[in-house]
Amino acid sequence: MIHSTKGIVLRTVKYGDTSVITTVYTELFGIQSYLVKGVRQSTKTSAGKAGYFQPSALLDMEVYHNELKQLQFVKEYRWSYLYEHVLSDVVKHSVAMYMIELVQHSLKQPEANPELFYLIEDSLKQLDKGNETLTANLPLYFVLHLASELGFRPQGKFGKDTAVLDLQEGVFVNTLPQHPYFLDGQMAELTSQLIDLSFYNELENLKLNRSARRALLESYQNYMALHIADFGELKTLAILQEILS
């Protein structure tokens, strides 16, 4: 059957002489792999079509879907949202690639999760429109809210008697744990603030220096790795830290 769905491109590889296989996080079916034929042909009708399948691209798609097959087919595709800055601005593009790799490492099953899809979609759109401060803080916001959608939101909040975030247990506590995976003091307080943010524009008011942002990004990668089996290391993290410095 043919279905209409939104999709966020995660990864694309060449296939044969003229085609690609693209991995897409779809609104209807979760992660799916699609064969897209003819987009790399050097003809007038195919010129530029491969650009639709760059990682982070937001698409409206008509797809064939068969639950029994691992490789699906795309019938039609068009932009769902056309970026103004993400694909051309070095900083915004680096943030987008970090977010996309984070999603790939975090999602182990193909099942659909519309709320998670909307988080990724909205975050990429806000990245495209946001100012410099929002852009720099968005990766921190995104990883914490991704964790929430995946079911391991840090519990509790920072306070006088809960000034330590135990990353292994995922909870704010009042004493240092016996393991090295924790945040305390200002880092725990900032994390609590990021978790509680409801609107993207609030990121514009969160002032962080380079060292704080670097430390939080590393700690949040540890947090994801502690709660997701075979999470691995993010190749884009070092690039992002350098770009945001």
- Phi first, then psi: give them for residue 92, nearest 5 degrees: -65, -40
Reported as a pLDDT band with limits 50, 70 and 90, residue 245 is: low
Structure confidence by residue, pLDDT tens digits, 227-243: 999 999 999 999 998 88
- Buried residues in 156-191 as b, exposed as e (16+ CB within 10 A): eebeeebbbbbbeebebbeeeeeeeebbeeebbbbb
Span 78-103, mean pLDDT? 97
Structure confidence by residue, pLDDT tens digits, 177-229: 999 999 999 999 999 999 999 899 999 999 898 899 999 999 999 999 999 99
Q: What percent of the chain has pLDDT over 90?
A: 83
Q: Which two tokens stand for residue 65?
A: 């879907």
- Do the beta carbons of residue 224 and residue 145 sit within 8 Å? no
Structure confidence by residue, pLDDT tens digits, 120-170: 999 999 999 999 999 999 999 999 999 999 999 999 999 999 999 999 999
Q: In the chain, how long is the greatest CA-to-CA distance? A: 66
Nearest CA to 75 out of 87, 90, 64, 86 is that of 64
Q: Is the pLDDT of residue 43 over 80?
A: no
Torsion angle, CA of 8/11/16/17, rounded to 10 degrees?
80
- One-letter amino acid of 221: Q
Place of tokens 């924790």: 182
Q: Evaluate if pTM is beyond 0.75.
A: yes
